[in-house]
């Protein structure tokens, strides 16, 4: 019975269909990064050309992410996700054909990755909004946790499949498989009822952007958390994945130790999903902020060169806390931000993360080479601690709560919501007011619930 309650989101048909489609698609997406690397190397890519191929998708995503937020609020989100899935399927299919026929050159890979990155810029904000359409509100966190678990499982399986394909056949087959998975995802989305997305078409995009910025900045807890995420991307993330391997080489014995740490992180990221199926904190932003602090023991032990077993255990906890914080954050946005502005607010969230991540990765290696890994890691830990201590002291962070339906009897409330929606679906469409956080403006929006995708990459904050 407890297991059935924990998987209650899957009892709702729109989410169940979407979950299957997205799980297939994320499996394909987890195969291609390794395949892309070796496809470029087989074409004779230099180190600079390899970097260009691997980094190409990030550029249009950064450029178009705010436009993607406007589009995600202006047009039906399900259609946006179907179109972006089909565009990415076409990119992967063309890549596969070029590689199989032996006609591919480096610039082909770069251009195709640029197109895929542009599609991802429209996919990401709309996907945050659609999750609220596809599952009843009391089960939002459960749905996000299930999607996260699927992403982490496929993230473990995908690289192994890619390694076999590259070793025994060709990277082209990995791209072909990914094209099929994107197509299957689009088919799944097409089987779900139409989603929200009906802003007036006669309003300029600039005005929509300004309105989205107003929704973003009017909530202190939102922009404060996004600033903390940006700092995390620029400090803790590169400290972990740039300085981590260096410290493993210097103090822990090298690649085998680092592989054990990464495996532990994967296990932690997967395990926390089971807890998130049931645990719904009353003060979600306080919980999210506290969870992020579990990176500190991991970084301290890593910097001190502590016994590997302690670092591995700290790594499990660190990754579990990170994924937990991210899931709670995403769910809280979906609960608190008015439906008509959710994609745009999400796009500003994405921009904060995307803009600072490459800066941090570029600088931390240089700083470590100049001042040493120990001092740089110490600064990262202190900055991380100060930022989150400030967040915890902010009344706006502590004031954010959960809807009563979530804190009461989620399954009963979800069942009632599903029944009400089924009844509404059998009659004329009605307009209901979007629920907003206390003190924020709300305006009527169409009542609908449909498909939901997650961002193509796993959460990294």
Q: How far apart are CA 410 and CA 404, in angstroms?
A: 9
Question: In 255-269, which positions are buried (b, 16+ CB within 10 angstroms) versus exposed (e)?
Answer: eebbebbbebbbbbb
First to last CA, the chain: 33
For residues 18 and 10, the answer to whether their CB atoms sit within 8 Å is no
* Ordered per-residue pLDDT tens for the chain, 461 residues: 555 666 778 888 888 888 888 888 888 888 888 888 888 888 888 877 887 888 888 888 888 999 888 888 888 888 888 999 999 999 999 999 999 999 999 999 999 999 999 999 899 888 887 888 888 888 888 888 888 888 888 888 888 888 888 888 888 999 999 999 999 999 988 888 776 555 555 567 788 888 888 889 899 999 999 999 999 988 998 888 888 888 888 888 877 888 888 888 888 888 888 888 888 888 999 999 999 999 999 999 988 888 999 999 999 999 999 999 999 998 998 888 888 888 888 888 888 877 888 888 878 888 888 888 889 999 999 999 999 999 999 999 999 888 765 555 555 444 444 444 443 344 433 333 333 333 333 322 333 223 333 333 434 33
3-state percent helix, strand, coil for the chain, nearest multiple of 5: 80, 0, 20
Q: State how far the Cα of 305 lies from the Cα of 204, in Å rounded to an integer.
A: 56
Q: Rounded to 5 degrees, what are φ and ψ at 446?
A: -60, 145
Q: Contact at 8 Å (CB) between 6 and 273?
A: no
CB atoms within 10 A of CB 169: 11
* Nearest-angstrom CA–CA distance, 27 and 158: 6
How far is Cα 63 from Cα 265, in angstroms, rounded to an integer?
31
The angle that helices 308-336 and 106-134 make with each other, rounded to 10 degrees, is 60
Map out the domains of the chain with their CATH numbers: 2-446 (1.20.1250.20)
């Amino acid at each position: 019975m407890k297991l059935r309650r924990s998987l209650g989101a899957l009892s709702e048909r729109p989410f169940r269909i979407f979950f299957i489609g997205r799980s297939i698609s994320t499996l394909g997406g987890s195969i291609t990064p390794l395949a892309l690397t070796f496809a470029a190397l087989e074409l004779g890519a230099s180190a600079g050309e390899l970097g260009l191929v691997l980094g190409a998708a990030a550029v249009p995503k950064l450029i178009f992410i705010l436009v993607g937020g406007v589009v995600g609020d202006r047009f039906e989100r399900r259609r946006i996700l179907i179109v972006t899935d089909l565009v990415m399927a076409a990119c992967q299919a063309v890549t596969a054909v070029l590689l199989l026929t032996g006609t591919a050159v480096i610039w082909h890979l770069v251009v195709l990755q640029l197109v895929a990155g542009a599609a991802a810029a429209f996919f990401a904000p709309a996907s945050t909004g659609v999750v609220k359409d596809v599952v009843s509100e009391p089960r939002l966190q459960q749905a996000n946790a299930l999607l996260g678990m699927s992403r982490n499982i496929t993230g473990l399986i995908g690289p192994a499949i890619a390694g076999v394909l590259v070793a025994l056949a060709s990277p082209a087959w990995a791209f072909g498989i990914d094209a099929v998975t994107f197509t299957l995802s689009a088919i799944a989305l097409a089987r779900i009822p139409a989603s929200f997305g009906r802003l007036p078409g006669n309003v300029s995009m600039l005005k929509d952007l300004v309105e989205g910025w107003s929704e973003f900045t009017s909530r202190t807890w939102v922009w404060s958390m996004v600033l903390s995420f940006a700092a995390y991307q620029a400090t803790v993330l590169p400290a972990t994945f740039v300085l981590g391997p260096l410290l493993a080489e210097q103090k822990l014995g090298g690649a085998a130790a680092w592989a054990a740490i990464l495996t532990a992180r994967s296990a932690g990221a997967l395990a926390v999903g089971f807890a998130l199926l049931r645990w719904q904190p009353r003060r979600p932003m306080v919980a999210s902020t506290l969870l992020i602090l579990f990176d500190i023991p991991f970084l301290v032990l890593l910097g001190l060169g502590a016994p590997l077993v302690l670092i591995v255990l700290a790594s499990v906890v660190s990754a579990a806390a990170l994924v937990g914080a991210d899931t709670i954050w995403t769910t809280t946005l979906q609960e608190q931000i008015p439906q008509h502005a959710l994609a745009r607010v999400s796009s500003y969230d994405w921009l904060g993360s995307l803009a600072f991540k490459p800066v941090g990765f570029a600088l931390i290696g240089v700083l470590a080479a100049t001042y040493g890994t120990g001092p740089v890691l110490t600064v990262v830990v202190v900055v991380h601690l100060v930022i989150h201590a400030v967040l915890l002291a902010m009344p706006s962070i502590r004031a954010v709560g959960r809807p009563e339906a979530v804190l009461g009897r989620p399954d009963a409330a979800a069942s009632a919501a599903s029944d009400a929606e089924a009844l509404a679906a059998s009659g004329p469409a009605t307009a209901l007011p979007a629920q907003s956080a206390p003190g924020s403006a709300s305006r009527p929006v169409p009542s609908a619930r449909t498909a939901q995708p997650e961002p193509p990459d796993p959460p990294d904050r």
